[in-house]
Amino acid sequence: MVAVCAASRPAPPYRGGMSMGGPGHRGGGMGRPLDESAQRRLNAQAPPVANLGRRVVALFRPYLRRIAVTGVIVVASAAIAVVPPLVVQRIFDDALFPPDGGGPHLDLLVGLVVLMVALFLVAAGLGVIQTWLTSTVGNRVTGDLRVRLFEHLQAMELGFFTRTKTGVIQSRLQNDVGGVAGVLTNTVTTILGNAVTVVASLVAMLLIDWRLTLVAVVLMPGLVAVQRRVGQARARIAAQTQESLSELTSITQETLSVSGVLLSKSFNRQGAESARYRAENDNQVRLQVRRAMSGQGFFAVVQVLMASVPAVVYLVSGWLMQRPDGGTITAGTVVAFTTVQARLLGPLIGLMRVALDVQTSRALFARIFEYLDLQPVIEDAPDAIPVSRAPGPLGRVEFRDVVFRYPDSAPDARPTLRGISFTAEPGQHVAFVGPSGAGKTTVLYLAPRLYEVSGGQVLFAGEDVRRLTQESVIDNVGIVSQETYLFHATIRENLTYAKPDATDDEIVEACRAANIHHVISGFADGYDTVVGERGYRLSGGEKQRIAIARVLLKDPAVLLLDEATSALDTVSERVVQEALDTAARGRTTLSIAHRLSTVIAADTIHVVEAGRIVESGTHAELAAAGGLYAELAAQQLASSRILEEERAEPPADHPERRADRAPTDGPADSTAPAVLAPAEGALVGPFADGFVAAPPLVAGSAGPEPRPDGFGPDETR
């Protein structure tokens, strides 16, 4: 099971799934959104879809037996459909107007009428069964395709999701698959049923009179040729429509998420977002109208021509009746022929329409198979072994001269990482610091093979991570990131995502260790409290501690901390850091921090700059070396002192100067030891050694005041 503590999308198909990122995700360009031209280049890189028709037909292979039964029913229904006109011919020529010139034969008439009613009843029953079979097969094929695409997308590497808009992925999965549902559901039976009806009708027409048949079908070859041209045009419009629909889905997903709404409201950009949506929606409306009208002129001409055929048949029949060599053409012949010909019109137009639909759906199928043809960059080697069979101790992580560049990087671009080498022994805390964009997050995500190295080796438990099964590696890794992802579900459901079979005692134990049990217990619904979209009903500290509890439930050997508390206020940070300290005990910990106070106690600190490790050592060694680490420490210390001086003595009329503060009756005790506390937003605990002297917390303090809504402590989001 994979511990998921920071996510925006599901990723490779490990049990429970694992994903990273989200709005504002960092890490050497991992979260860079693609502009429209870049997105088009990405789409252009997809391999062309080969053997499209054969692959679509293959989707029906699991349901061949049902399709065969459906085919028998369709053929039977089509055969039955051409019998009534022949019965009508006998009613006119034999029952009502017999050749002997006598009166109507009532017995024969009654028998023929009963036969017609029976045929209609049988046809209706077969139609119900046919509808059930076609609906079942079509919807199951659609469902299979949707699940297949979803599972394939989960198998894609993390980089695919950082390069592709979420809305585009959702559109392929929902709109494109939904767009072909009708074709998958009705095409087989429509083609088979209409084709059989057309053939049977033509045979019946030939049996009635071959000359009239030639008159009726003379226009068909030309109509088929025109229909192919119309279908090609509709396919192009369909592709444009789906691209526009993808963009609409992306705008909706980006703008109407909680984060998107907060962003647009905070910058007063609702009008601009509405204009962007309206413009794309207008484009979608225009394309839908074009799609709906495409081919309508063609079908109007077809219907007029086909509807005119009976008049031509009447004219030709009359002419033949007047000729000595015209043969025997009776009134029954004409009525039967025109009745069959009328039955030919619907199936013929139906075949033309379904042919257009199939041509149109090719664009949708191509988009679906385009994603199915994308090959994951990261896959298990044929001889991959589980971590349990690795030669080294569990929890050992080693980088050997690792080089990494992103797949979408320019060929001449500098690698994101170059020559990265270090070793983290089981139970050690190894920290990475450095400027933003230096590549620290990339290092963390290379450890469990969420990205593939471009050069060098990453070893996990003494074995090259590329020779280990991905699932077994992820089973031993837990990640806590700055961007905590919680589902719109209960706290219990979010926790058990890491361990579905976790008992209540295990859940409570993990939450106690994460310093969140007392908060959850204060909620009216306790562990059954729904946290809201992305956990927005909780504060930042509460969400982060639930994420830590989720990791503790998984109990991984290696813990990756990606600035897990950088977005929190000082009070929340202290509580969360205590939970992180608990989670890190006995585990190999790789952590990233901009605030150096969080990594002072690390066994080894690596300073990363421009994709290289430029310094390594303990806090004391690096501080004394006078390099980049010492420079960063000095900058943070200066900033912290300025902040403390500003906070030290607010003016008498300042709102923060509370009346209930106890006045001092004398000079402060200069001999009292100062308590080292971190700067605003810095971590504390075993990793911390503060940079700033600050007053201690008041003993016996009840902690943060409850929020007015009673939902939980008022921690800064």
Question: What span, in angstroms and rounded, lies between the C-alpha atoms of 410 and 407?
Answer: 9
What DSSP element (H or E) covers 150? Answer: helix 106-155
pLDDT digits (tens, 9 = 90+) for 282-320: 888 888 888 778 777 777 777 777 777 777 777 878 787
Domain ranges of the chain: 47-372, 392-629
C-alpha to C-alpha distance for 90 and 79, rounded to whole angstroms: 18
Mean pLDDT score across all residues of the chain: 76
pLDDT above 70: residue 20? no
> What CATH fold (topology level) applies to the domain 392-629?
Rossmann fold (3.40.50)
The Cα 568–Cα 551 span in angstroms is: 19
Six-digit token string for 267: 């910058």
Query: Cα–Cα distance between 419 and 396 in angstroms, integer?
Result: 19
Strands of the sheet containing 604-609, edge to edge, are: 477-481, 558-562, 588-592, 429-433, 604-609, 612-617
Highest mean pLDDT among 87-96, 311-320, 322-331, 484-493: 484-493
Integer CA distances (angstroms), 524 to 51, 506, 514, 519, 714, in order: 58, 21, 20, 11, 16
Both tokens assigned to 633: 């420490």
Residue 263 — very low, low, confident or very high, per pLDDT cuts 50/70/90?
Answer: low
Residue whose token pair is 């921690």: 715
Can you give the pLDDT at residue 28? 40
Euclidean distance between CA atoms 160 and 39, whole angstroms = 12
Q: How far apart are CA 267 and CA 307, in angstroms?
A: 62
SS3 for 112-136 is HHHHHHHHHHHHHHHHHHHHHHHHH
pLDDT at residue 78, as a whole number = 77
User: Each residue of 401-427: pLDDT tens digit?
Assistant: 999 998 777 777 889 999 999 999 999
Q: Can you tell me whether residue 447 is helix, strand or coil? A: coil
Q: Say whether pLDDT at 279 is over 50.
A: yes
Alpha helices in 209-326 (DSSP H): 210-217, 220-255, 258-266, 270-293, 296-322
Q: Does the structure show a pLDDT above 60 at 34?
A: no
Q: Is the pLDDT of residue 705 over 80?
A: no
Q: Measured in whole angstroms, how far is the alpha carbon of residue 189 from the centre of its chain?
A: 32
Largest pairwise CA distance in the chain: 137
List CB contacts of 590: < 8 A, sequence separation 6 or more: 397, 424, 430, 431, 432, 443, 444, 447, 558, 559, 560, 561
H-helix or E-strand containing 430?
strand 429-433
CATH 1.10.760.10 is the classification of domain 47-372: no
pLDDT above 70: residue 132: yes
Per-residue model confidence (pLDDT) at position 309: 73
* pLDDT confidence band for 683 (50 / 70 / 90): very low
- In a 3-state reduction of DSSP, which class is residue 698? coil
User: What average pLDDT does this structure show over 37-62?
Assistant: 64
Q: What are the pLDDT digits (tens) for 592-639?
A: 987 787 788 899 999 999 999 999 999 999 999 989 999 888 887 776
What 8-state DSSP symbol labels residue 530? Answer: B
Residue pLDDT, tens place only, 358-398: 777 787 888 888 889 888 888 899 999 999 999 989 999 99
Task: Assess contact for 358 and 365: CB atoms under 8 A.
Answer: no
Instruction: Give the best-scoring range by mean pLDDT among 54-58, 182-186, 549-553.
Output: 549-553
Beta bridge partners of 460: 397, 463
Q: What H or E segment, with its residue span, contains residue 589?
A: strand 588-592
DSSP, collapsed to helix, strand or coil, labels residue 608 as strand
Tens digits of residue pLDDT in 74-98:
888 877 877 887 788 778 777 777 7
pLDDT of residue 249: 79
Mean pLDDT to the nearest integer, 114-139: 88
Taking the model in full, what pTM does it have?
0.66
- 28-32, 139-143, 686-690: which has the highest mean pLDDT? 139-143
> Facing residues of 478 across strands?
3, 559
Report CA 349 to chain centroid distance, whole Å.
38
CA distance 334 to 317: 7
Distance set, CA 159 to CA 8, 82, 175, 452 (Å) = 13, 59, 23, 10
The tokens for 375 are 């090959």
Least Cα distance to 144 among 99, 185, 95 occurs for 185
Query: Residue 103 contacts by C-beta under 8 Å, 6 or more apart in sequence?
Result: none
Does residue 708 have a pLDDT over 50? no
pLDDT of residue 490: 93
Q: What percent of the chain has pLDDT over 70?
A: 76
Determine the pLDDT at residue 221: 67
Most confident of 37-51, 171-185, 451-465, 637-651: 451-465
Residue 310, Cβ density class (10 Å: 0-12 exposed, 13-18 middle, ≥19 buried): middle
> Residue 383 has what pLDDT?
93
DSSP-derived secondary structure letter, 39:
H
- Give residue 503's pLDDT: 93
Tell me what the mean pLDDT of segment 466-495 comes to. Answer: 90
Dihedral sign for Cα atoms in the order 539, 545, 548, 554: negative
Helices (H), 429-539: 440-446, 470-474, 491-496, 504-513, 517-521
492-521 average pLDDT score: 91
pLDDT attached to residue 135: 84
What 3-state class would DSSP assign to 617? strand
Say how far apart CA 240 and CA 252 lie, in whole Å.
19
Q: Are 417 and 455 in contact (CB under 8 A)?
A: no
Q: Over the stretch 223-249, which tens digit does the pLDDT of each residue have? A: 666 666 776 677 778 778 878 877 887
Is residue 678 over pLDDT 60? no
- Residue 420 pairs in a beta bridge with 402
Say how far residue 114 (Cα) sits from the centre of its chain.
57
Q: What are phi and psi of 166, to 5 degrees?
A: -60, -40
Query: Which pLDDT score, from 0 to 100, does residue 296 have?
Result: 73
Length of the chain: 717
Among 8-17, 140-149, 213-222, name the one with the lowest average pLDDT.
Answer: 8-17
Q: Does position 157 have pLDDT exceeding 80, yes or no?
A: yes
- Pseudo-torsion of CA 275, 280, 283, 285, nearest 10°? -90
The yes-or-no verdict on residue 522 having pLDDT over 80 is yes
* Residue 400 clears pLDDT 90, i.e. is over it: yes
The pLDDT assigned to 684 comes to: 35
In this prediction, residues 493-501 reach a mean pLDDT of 91
